[in-house]
Each structure stands twice: as structure tokens, then as C-alpha cells.
Amino acid sequence: MKTVWTKTCAVGLAIAFLGASQLAAAQPEASCDGIVTSDPKHMYDFKIGTWNLRWKNQYRDGFAEFDAVSKVYTMMDGDIVMDEQVAQYFKGVTFRTYDKNLGEWVVRWLPANSTWYPPISASLEDCTPVERHVMATPTGENAKVRTRFTDITANSFAFHQDWSTDGGKSWNRDVLYYEATRVDAPESAQ
């Protein structure tokens, strides 16, 4: 009887351990403090509202600086985050939707009078919303692209888009960059 009891306890402990480890794996890795939540489905909630953007984009011979307005809102019971941007030089929309099966966001940028940009995947990395994709540079090279949203407060944040043409060994930082300042209070995120 003692052998059966010992085996039963060992099996029970193994099942409990495996169950606890699977439960731990299903939980967010870190608790995020501040505006960005640990729940990846809500990682873009900070963007809801209207923003003034100050862009500073790199070019071979310098920078182009300009202003834009961004209106961000949710649709479809909060399952889609829509970002409309209008500037003197461009206008377009970004669609973001959370894929619960992948545990990440699917992001698509559509400039007006153009075509879809390559698909973008996004997730929380150390409590920072990060978007990643590959696209062709103006010179025709393929670049790994990493976009980060940083310095997030209730009324401001920064957008950094870095490019790497050597497979991620080195990064050209802030190829596209803007600082956002809130114009109005957000509507409640769904």
C-alpha cells in the first residue's frame, strides 16, 4: 500500500507541477507599471484619442520635419484599433487587431492613394509595444523594421522606427520618429 501511495503522490505532484507551469506560461511574463497594461490585448489603449504629432524623418541628406494629426479609436467592440493620420505630405490609416491565437497584434498601414504596406506583427516586449516587419528601403534593400512606442504618459508618447539592413546586427535608429501630444481626452477603450 505504501508503494501505491508514494506513486500516487508522485503522479499527483507531477500533474500539479505541470498544471502550475502551464498556468504560469499562460500568464503575462511581467507586470507593467504605468499606462501600458500587462494584458497584450490592451497594449494600444494608451493611443485612444486625438494627438498632435511632430514627425522627424531621416533621409540621406538630412531630416524632414512636419506636423500631423492622429485620431485613434476602437471599432467592433474594441477588437480593432483604427489610427487615422493626416499631414501635409501624406494621409492614411493603420488597422490593428489582436489575434488571441497568436497572442500578438496584426497591424496594417494603408497610405491614401497607394497600396497596403507589408504585414506587421506586434507584441509587448518588456512592457513596451513593439511592431516588427520587413520592407524594401528606398535603395531596394530589404530592411528589418522595428517600431517602439516609448515614454508613454496619459498625454504624450514617442514613436521610434529603426531599420536594419544587416539582419539585425546593427540598427539605424529613428529613421521615422515622432512625438505625440494629446489634444483631447480619450473615449473609453472597449
Q: What is the pLDDT of residue 186?
A: 62
Q: What is the pLDDT of residue 2?
A: 46
Question: What residue ranges do the domains of the chain occupy?
Answer: 40-182
The b-or-e profile of 111-120 (16+ CB within 10 A means b, else e) is eeeeeebeeb
Question: Could you list the pLDDT tens digit for every one of the 190 residues in the chain?
Answer: 444 433 333 333 333 333 333 333 344 456 887 788 888 889 999 999 999 999 999 888 888 999 999 999 999 988 899 999 999 989 999 999 999 898 899 999 999 988 888 889 999 999 999 999 999 888 889 999 999 999 999 999 999 999 999 999 999 999 999 999 999 866 554 4
Q: What is the pLDDT of residue 60?
A: 80
Q: What is the pLDDT of residue 13?
A: 30
Backbone angles phi and psi of 6, in degrees to 5: -65, -45
Q: What is the pLDDT of residue 77?
A: 85
Q: What is the pLDDT of residue 3?
A: 44
Nearest CA to 34 out of 184, 134, 170, 157 is that of 157
Q: What is the pLDDT of residue 30?
A: 60
- Give the Cα separation of 97 and 108 in Å (integer): 9
Q: What is the pLDDT of residue 155?
A: 96
Record the pTM: 0.77
Nearest CA to 129 out of 46, 50, 69, 190 is that of 46
40-182 is classed in which CATH architecture? Answer: Beta Barrel (2.40)
